[in-house]
Amino acid sequence: MCGSGLVRLSICKILCASALVFALTNCHPLIETSTRIPKAIFIIVDGIPADIIESSQTPNLDSIAGSHGYTRSYVGGEIGGMTQSPTVSAVGYNSLLTGTWANKHNVYTNRIENPNYSYWDIFRIARHQNLDISTALFSTWQDNRTRLVGDGLPEAGGSKLDYAFDGLELDEARFPHDEAREFIRAIDNAVSTEAAHYLRDVGPELSWVYLEYTDDIGHIYGEGDELTAAVAIMDANVGKIWKAVQDRQKTHGENWLVVVTTDHGRDEETGKSHGGQSLRERTTWIATNSQRLNSNFENLPGIVDILPSILDHLAIVPPPRIAAQLDGVSFIDRQDNEPAR
């Protein structure tokens, strides 16, 4: 993402040509992955415009992306069309979770008034197709589990998560709320630390991590030193998780997909707001460690393309009725491996 990172990655690419030095670098291995157990984690970091992530120092995102795994992407659906969706947080999360735009999943605001659970979320699809799949969620906002995923709700497919770490924002004794949003910074740290521990110890097959602090800082300060510092904190939090994934891959023979993205950009004028259809609010980004990226990845994928991509990595095929509803197209070529167990 950053200039120095790109230079380093170019060097890394050259070094990758040598198997001898490979083990000494952070390069992604071009080794056969089809026989290893596929697992996936997607991480949403809130409200970071593409130009901000590209001009910031993000060594851990750089490490995840390697030489090919970063692209600009978009949210918001088709401007003026029936799929047009507000560039608002919960709207974006649910477009990722369901692979559909707001005209289908029916979440138009952060109040999540009446989600349409007939558009299945990724955990519901995975659990339906593989009852034994292990799942987890780590989130700085509890509504992600209780309202969007609707975990435990019969109309949302019942229980789909084996483990959840969230709701800390409701514990004001432990995390007293403050205007500077330091409590959210602390919760992001706790959430990412727990995610790293759980991934390292348990290694669920499908996980979601949500981190909020960057958006809160954007709303208070707009762009500037404060947002740059928040992006660095985000990158360090993601780095903890990435290190756990790398450790699992080394010690457990697993084939992990990591997808990091944001849910919207910010306005052009101050960077303090979002929700409209300006280019900067619609322009997002994706960083991934996948070695099976196809041409769709380079062609401005949408946030709705992430669900089919993760499913392809996990070799999970949705039920035909659900597959027919999806608005997204995979940017990852299917593994020719065993189904997800």
Question: Which residues of this chain interact with Zn ion, rule CB under 5 A?
Answer: 46-47, 89, 215, 263
CB-based contact 70:15 (threshold 8 Å)? no
Complex with Zn ion: residue 266 or 313, whichever CB lies closer: 266
Which is nearer to Zn ion, 210 or 256 (by Cβ)?
A: 210
Rounded to the nearest 10 degrees, the angle between the axes of helix 182-201 and helix 225-252 is 10
CA distance 271 to 37: 41
Distance of CA 165 to the CA centre of its chain: 16
What residue number has its CB nearest to Zn ion? 89
Closest CA to 232 of 87, 48, 10, 3: 48
CB of 194 to Zn ion, least distance (A): 21
CB of 196 to Zn ion, least distance (A): 23
CB of 127 to Zn ion, least distance (A): 26
Kindly state the helix (H) or strand (E) to which residue 332 belongs, with its residue range: none
| Min CB(197)–Zn ion separation in Å | 26
Shortest Å distance, C-beta 89 to Zn ion:
3
Residue 15 in tokens: 């070094």
Least Å from the CB of residue 149 to Zn ion: 17
Cβ distance to Zn ion smaller for residue 58 or 94 = 94
Residues 6+ apart with CB under 8 A from 97: 105, 121, 122, 123, 148, 149, 208, 307
Query: Please, what is the minimum distance in Å from the beta carbon of residue 47 to Zn ion?
Result: 4
Cβ pair 242, 63 in contact under 8 A? yes
Give the residue with the Cβ less far from Zn ion, 38 or 302. Answer: 302
For tokens 């697993």, name the residue.
Answer: 254
Nearer to Zn ion, 146 or 246 (CB): 146
- 310 to 35, 47, 125, 146, 150: CA distances (angstroms): 17, 22, 11, 22, 20
Q: Which is nearer to Zn ion, 101 or 256 (CB)?
A: 101
Choice between 215 and 305, CB closer to Zn ion: 215
| Pairwise CA distance, residues 261 & 284, whole Å | 7
